[in-house]
Chains A and B, each alone.
Chain A
Amino acid sequence: EAGVAQSPRYKIIEKRQSVAFWCNPISGHATLYWYQQILGQGPKLLIQFQNNGVVDDSQLPKDRFSAERLKGVDSTLKIQPAKLEDSAVYLCASSLVVAVNTEAFFGQGTRLTVV
């Protein structure tokens, strides 16, 4: 079974530029998550989708971050414009459903460096 795919693996941009990350979840997984992991911290949930609808985006900085999952499958996370403090690893995860006994599977992440 293929895992969660993310691209690119690494990205370096200058501040005020824009960047986009792509995630393809495991086939059949209805729930998709985007996490931000800043160096030395645990992952923080940015946004959660159930199929193509947003369940939780309370910690997404909506003035600069946006995410979509138009067909309920793959998803794109965008930052525009980027700030230095956006430097982090962006992790995508997916699960069959949202339930306590359902495991979330994580991709390898995209490491973003803003200079």
Chain B
Amino acid sequence: AQSVTQLDSQVPVFEEAPVELRCNYSSSVSVYLFWYVQYPNQGLQLLLKYLSGSTLVKGINGFEAEFNKSQTSVHLRKPSVHISDTAEYFCAVLVDTGFQKLVFGTGTRLLVSP
């Protein structure tokens, strides 16, 4: 079964520091990967998606992710975080079993402090 594992439940970081949120996936078929952000009391918003092509994918709000097939990872990165980046981040894989659905990881809470 296809699934995703987010290795860190919470990542504290100071403002303007770089951050990496880790995600590993398991898949035996074509891989389509997504990162979503959820701000407090809000729905999920798409940050970026990896479908094919370049292994470095740029998303919104200065985030990017590097897809590594050999390590089955798609870690999310930002070189300099802001207080406003404090949120929950979810990695997801698109599962295709005749119909397509997103399978989410358990999430990583990014806490940015001054």
Contact = CB atoms under 8 A, between A and B. Distances in A.
A48 B94 CA distance: 14
Interface in B65-113: 90, 92, 94, 99-107
A36 to B, nearest CB: 11
A108 B40 CA distance: 10
A55 B99 contact: yes
Interface majority SS on B: helix, strand, loop or mixed?
strand
Interface residues of B, number: 22
A55 B95 CA distance: 14
Contacts of A26: none
Contacts, number: 52
Contact of B44 (A41, A43, A48, A56): A43
A56 B106 contact: no
Interface in A22-46: 33, 40-45
B43 A56 contact: no
Interface of B: 9, 32, 41-46, 49, 51, 90, 92, 94, 99-107
Interface of A: 4, 33, 40-45, 48, 55-56, 91, 93, 98-101, 103-109
